Structure 1
Amino acid sequence: MKICFITYTVFSHGGTQRISSTIAKELSKEHEIHLLLTSKRKEGNPYNINEEDFKIDYYELSLFRKVIRNAVTWIATKGFFTGKRADWYSKMMFLPKQNRFLKKFIQSNKFDLVVGFDVAGSLWIGSIKESVGVPMIGRIQASYDHFFGAPDRGSWKHEEVFGSTLPKLNKVVVLSKDDEREFSEKLNINTRFIYNAHNLGYKKITKLNNKKFVALGRCTHHKGFDIVVEAFNIFARDNKDWNLEIVGDGPLKPLLEQKINSYNLADRITLLPFSDQVEDRFSDADVFVFSSRFEGFGIVQVEALSCGLPIIASDIPITKELLKDRGIAEFYENENPDDLARAMHTIISQDLKEMSNRALAYSKEFTSDKVAAKYNQLFKDVAGK
């Protein structure tokens, strides 16, 4: 088949960039994959895209149009695009010139299938679906709660916007069973859940000999590293052997440094800069701490499992769906540092070697070839090929 992926970019770090690159590379073994990227910005090639394997085109908005787009998004967070005004959002976000380009691009290339691999791409193809006779699939990379759960979320009050456009698509991929149900029941979107894939090669496995917790990700509020530091401060009062390592950069990193210094834990908590060599960090640790306040999937969970790490996880829906009752994780009440400290004590008293073996075995359900096979079957079903 001739398939077009529409997404922001594959040439920078990020969860969507990683999974779109992974799936595109796997499916290019069987199909002709085109990439339509909406940003020309490149930050290297972190996911090793061989540009000779793909036809890559770009459609980047002008600075003026980006300002308009951001303004429309802000207006949407105030609840303006509801009721009969819900359809106005697509008309203001995707102006006729932009839609004419996309229609011509799809028709001239004679694609068998078009895939919006992020929300913006999904909304864009949804806005022209009724005028283009090509099967189309969208993809939502975050959870229902992540999008709509609170005023500080990026898509606050966008429910009717999503509900007026995305149901036009043949199918929309979401990242969990819980979201498959929520988006379907609440917004009438034809959903299919497919978990994210990891592409680590099982070359570096923890030896469980360092007595170290590790947390990894962007230093932002929703990742919850502030809770991890507070919990470790409580844990460290009774435990003098274990240490904590936090890997990542972001706006809250100075706050973490202040907390660590105020607790006099600089000798036991290490802050490291972002690294794309996640296997090195995971294999050097003994337990992974997944502290997100909310999350669509959290690929780092699966990457940690693939390095043999048992997990301490906040009890949000996706962690319970992935990890519960598998003997590989200890849960704590979300945003509760006292309960996280308890979980730290509990997990280090368990048989970490046995948990590690189970983690490794389970992680193989998320390898790139297995996840790509699910996308491949979905694409064939929708395209009728």
Structure 2
Amino acid sequence: MKKICFFVGNLNQAGGTERVSSVIASELQLRGYQIHMLSLQCGDKPFFELADGIEVNQLFTTAVRGMLRLPLAIFKLRSYLQQHQIDILIDVESMLALYALPAVMGLKMHHICWEHFNYNVDLGKTSRRLARKLAARFADDVVTLTERDKQLWLSNATCKANITAIPNPVTISLPAEINPHKEKLFLAVGRLSYQKGFDLLLQAWAQVVSLHPDWRLRIVGDGEDKTMLEQLRRELNIEVSTELAPKTNNIAAHYQQAAFFVLSSRFEGLPLVLIEAQAYGLPIVSFDCDTGPAEIIKNEESGWLCEAGNVADLADKIRNAVNCFNDEVTYKSFSKYSNENRNEFSVDAIIEKWSDLL
């Protein structure tokens, strides 16, 4: 069976990219592939569990800004691929193509670039924009998380690579049963950062709670915007009906308690929290941001999509959700559609897509 090397930034980290790549790699190992997990730096103590037999290595033992040692990293990566006779190299994040493309030059090796954001999001790095353009032209395949992002790649880059959309799977343990006694609670989960748009959510909530004072909003997460968000709660006079809860390893308890999930992100790649929320039967209110929500939520069936960044529209759709909850038959219908949609994102379904590509 083929030898596959997943080239990651740092497998010791606990982010969503590391979690998903660990799950995909482990499932492929169990299906007979020989998997290597190679970190650019550190990665000697993977945060997430890996299947037995996976080889874990690192190019550098210390963390340094990557571009400062680009030539040496390219040399070490090429040497590793040759030494271990790797058949397929998968860059876990498009930035890593800057190392991988020159490293595989002239080698008989299939090269896949796996995008974890979307084409329009560069997080302020011109090097990421360059990496994407080079990957589109010189890699064999580019894997995006959504069909919308696939179209962004095709429209904005010269694509000689095959562009394939494969969503991430839901990676949390699925509930044996869903709590039928939901509280009047909207749940939001994520890092307290500009990307997640919780400032927009609080502004929308201020327009809702005056009409529905018996409902609450809970935001679960930590991050650099916490102080700003606490101040905004005070300014909007919504401290009684809102709370900022710390991140937790038991997010399932929140999913079981809440009646709805709400996503206010300014941008996404593929928001796994939406898939997790659906697994617990939560209808979703979400901005139709790039990219992901429109491919997870069936509008007016499993949730509501609203114009990206439009606070008034978000408030209006939250009010729609409250009215839905007041009609037991309608709410159960939304919850059922939401729960059934999770099957499209099961690990088995996603691994089949990866197996077809490989």
Which TM-score applies when normalising by structure 1? 0.84
- Given residue 105 of structure 1, which amino acid in structure 2 is its aligned partner? Y
CA contact (8 A) 1:8 1:38 kept: yes
Give the partner amino acid of 1:362: N
- Contact 1:194–1:374 (CA under 8 A) maintained in structure 2: yes
Aligned to 1:382: none
SS in 1 for 2:75: helix
> Given the alignment of the two structures, is residue 94 of structure 1 paired with residue 95 of structure 2, yes or no?
no
Cα offsets for 1:151-173 (capped at 9, x unmatched) = xx333585444323442111010
Match of 1:155 among 122, 125, 140: 125
Alpha-carbon contact 2:11-2:45 (below 8 Å) kept: no
Partner of 2:305: 331
1:19 corresponds to 2:36: no
Q: CA deviation at 1:205?
A: 2.6
**Contact 1:129/1:169 (8 A) holds in 2:** no
Task: Determine helix, strand or coil for the equivalent of 1:154.
Answer: coil
User: Match for residue 34 of structure 2?
Assistant: 32
Alignment pair present for 1:356 and 2:332: no
CA distance in 1, matches of 2:310, 2:333: 27
**Which residue of the partner structure matches residue 85 of structure 1?**
none
- CA-CA distance at 1:43 after TM superposition: 8.2
Q: 1:122, 1:166 within 8 Å by CA — same for their partners in 2? A: no
Structure 1 residue 327: deviation in Å? Answer: 0.5
Q: Which residue of 2 aligns with 1:227?
A: 200
Q: Given the superposition, is the C-alpha separation of residues 143 and 269 from structure 1 closer, same or farther in structure 2, using an over 3 Å criterion? A: same
Matches within 5 A, 1:14-93: 14-30=15-31, 31-40=33-42, 45=47, 47-49=48-50, 52-60=52-60, 66=65, 68-69=67-68
- CA gap 1:295/1:332 in 2 versus in 1, 3 angstroms: same
Which position in structure 2 is the counterpart of 1:196?
168
Q: Label 1:44 to 1:205 Cα distance change in 2 as closer, same or farther (>3 A).
A: farther
Report if the CA contact (8 A) 2:192-2:221 is conserved: yes
- Most deviating of 131-140 and 257-266: 257-266
Distance 2:305 2:39 in 1: 39
Identical-residue share of aligned pairs (%): 25
Q: Cα RMSD between the aligned structures? A: 2.1
Q: 1:285–1:173: structure 2 CA closer, same or farther, 3 Å change rule?
A: same
Relative to structure 1, is the Cα distance of residues 114 and 253 closer, same or farther in structure 2, using a 3 angstrom cutoff? same
Question: Aligned to 2:104, what secondary structure does the other structure show?
Answer: helix
Partners of 1:33 and 1:157 lie apart in 2 by: 28
- 2:301/2:334 contact within 8 Å kept: yes
CA contact (8 A) 1:130 1:168 kept: no
* Counterpart residue type for residue 53 of structure 1: G
1:133 counterpart residue number: 108
- The residue that corresponds to 1:177 in the other structure is 147
Q: Is the 8 A contact 2:96 2:131 kept in 1?
A: no
Q: Deviations over 1:225-261 (max 9, x none)?
A: 1111111111011111110100000010111111112
Deviates more, 1:174-183 or 1:319-328: 319-328
Q: Which runs of 5+ in 1 are unaligned?
A: 70-92, 148-152, 380-385
Distance in 1 (alpha carbons) for counterparts of 2:300 and 2:80: 47
Residue 141 of structure 1 and its aligned partner are, at CA, apart by 0.6
Cα displacement string for residues 190-242 of structure 1 (whole angstroms, at most 9, x for unaligned residues) = 21110111123322634352010000000001101111111111101111111
Pick aligned residue for 2:183 from 195, 201, 210:
210
Aligned residues: 347
Separation (CA, whole Å) in 1 of partners of 2:106 and 2:353 = 28
Contact conserved, 1:206 with 1:308, CA < 8 A, in 2? no
- CA distance in structure 2 between the aligned counterparts of 1:42 and 1:357, rounded to whole angstroms: 42
